[in-house]
Amino acid sequence: MADPHASSTSPPTAPLIGSREMPPWQIGELREAPPMSLKSWTQLIGPGLVMGGAAIGAGEWMAGPLTTAKYGGAILWLSTLSILGQVVYNLEISRYTLYSGESIFTGKFRLLPGPFFWLALYLVLDFGSVFPYIASAAATPLAAVMVGEIAQPTETYQLLGVSLTGDALLRTLRYILFIGMMTPLIFGGTVYNSLKGLISFKIVVVLGFLITVAFLYSNAETWIEILTGFVKFGSVPVMGGGDDGQPLTQNIFVSLWNGDGFPVIDSRMLAVLGALAAISGSGGLTNTAISSYTRDQGWGMGANVGVIPSMVGGEKMQLSHTGMIFLVTAESLRRFRGWYRYVLRDQLVVWMPACFVGIALPCMLSIQFLPRNTQARDWEAAALTANGLRDAAGPVWGQFMWFAVLFCGFLVLAPNITTTAENALRRWVEVSWTALPPLRRWDPHRIRYLFFGTLCAYAAFGLVSLTLWDSVRLLKWAAALYNAAMGFSCWHVLAVNLILLPRELRPNWFLRMGLLLAGVFFMGLAVISAYSIWNEVKI
């Protein structure tokens, strides 16, 4: 990768646009994008792979079964809108990175009133990313595999000659998992390469098992329910559903058309539904990592800026303090469109399908093996699903399938401890690296020390959170903040691309409207989730 500091003569700088507290861009040349062909397929395996694999996580494995166990597939249309909104968002943040080599977060800080204003605002909006709800949840399936059943808090278990209550076992595993899954962020040369290896293993094992289960044990009715659920726009849970044979869900538009008025929505599930939508795909500000991965992949002007090195193995790597843009000419526009086609294919061929598959397969398990209107809390839905699959598989393969479902649950969640932490740390390290004058005076190689120090602070807060709160509570809190952050960020990205990008590179009107409506959708979910959580607190 090109070293932006290899020459003693600094490249020319561009006129400063936006806040004068941010350093001006340098000017460089946009290199040619590799031609599209089957031989260049490996060029596609980049940001979409990492984020697509990370998309199979807590929202899909916890919030998905919690909702589909009760309502079936009728509510999955929320995931459809969430994923489509995120596709538009991901395309637009990558557009900025292809032009400047900077992450979109740095671009946001370039707008007025300046980086310190945005720093304070996004510290609040991004606070959901520091809640370690995934580590809290991942301990449950791991403990079940270890003791042969879902660990009960008051029961005593023998492990390696040591007696532990279920509560002590779960608490210990939460701490071990949370700290242990930070290790890939310390080694591997670039943090990005470490994540690609970890996520590739997860995708092969988890999706391979779920596809096998779907082929052997699911039926056509289950898949019809899931696939139609993705497009049942307007279906909502209603009060009294399931009582005396009453429907569990009603469609708002059908109810109004028939003159029955607006359905009485069951507000008790609103926070979980908001969590499903918030974490379908990536969710919250975790999507902003797409722009950083686009740079680390060397796409567009990212090849001129550098990468974030890991603490061990990345001594020769560095990240420039400032972005580098290209002058707009007919030739550079042609090259830019070539790189944008890679981003478009990465999102539509890898990331978006991975998100839908990541939701459909876990939901398939609960829809197939649990009766409708099953009431479940926390990890009970996953445990009940494992029991259902064990019964369906019979005496020969039943116990193996039980273990396999829970192990896959662990394998889904555990790597996401790493990706969630890396996403949050990457955002703040990159912004600090460019926005804070004291850090701009550091040698570019020293960014790995900043990353490692921030990682230690993140880990310390996570340990405190794991001690105080349970996984579902952390999930609901994080989801409300995720939706608010994503909604506002959609509007902010639209402003960045309309103000900082040359007119020839700005998004078309279709993408502008997509960002605007996506912001409305996620902000609406944030308000609904906050209302539901507030009602729970009052109760």
Residue 150 lies in a domain: yes
Residue 396 lies in a domain: yes
- Give the orientation angle of helix 471-499 with respect to helix 509-538, to 10 degrees: 150
Residue 131 lies in a domain: yes
Distance of CA 446 to the CA centre of its chain: 28
- Give per-10-residue mean pLDDT for the chain (539 aa): 46 78 88 76 57 59 70 89 94 95 88 87 78 74 81 82 85 87 65 61 78 86 92 88 73 90 80 72 77 80 62 44 86 95 87 84 82 64 75 86 83 76 77 74 77 85 78 67 89 96 96 96 86 64
Query: What pLDDT sits at residue 188?
Result: 47
The answer to whether 232 touches 74, Cβ cutoff 8 Å, is yes
Judged by DSSP in three states, 28 sits in strand
CA separation for the pair 321, 405 (Å, rounded): 45
CA separation for the pair 140, 386 (Å, rounded): 13
Residue 77 lies in a domain: yes
Query: What pLDDT sits at residue 378?
Result: 53
Exposed (0-12), middle (13-18) or buried (19+): which is 539, by Cβ within 10 Å?
exposed
Query: What pLDDT sits at residue 8?
Result: 45
Residue 142 lies in a domain: yes
CA separation for the pair 97, 438 (Å, rounded): 24
Output the domain CATH number for residue 444: 1.20.1740.10
CA separation for the pair 226, 74 (Å, rounded): 8
Residue 256 lies in a domain: yes
Judged by DSSP in three states, 157 sits in strand
Query: What pLDDT sits at residue 183?
Result: 76
SS (H, E, C) 92-110: HHHHHHHHHCCCHHHHHHC
- Sequence-distant (6+) residues with CB within 8 A of 78 are 273, 276, 277, 280, 525
Residue 7 lies in a domain: no
Domain with 184, as residue range(s), is 26-538
Query: What pLDDT sits at residue 3?
Result: 42
Query: What pLDDT sits at residue 401?
Result: 87
Could you tell me the two tokens for 332? 């550079």
Residue 429 lies in a domain: yes
CA separation for the pair 486, 522 (Å, rounded): 6
Number of domains in the chain: 1
The β-bridge partners of 526 are: none
Place of tokens 């409708």: 372
CA separation for the pair 379, 420 (Å, rounded): 20
Give this prediction's pTM: 0.81
The answer to whether 284 touches 82, Cβ cutoff 8 Å, is no
What would the DSSP string read from start to end of 104-129? HHHHHHTSTT-HHHHHHHHHHHGGGG
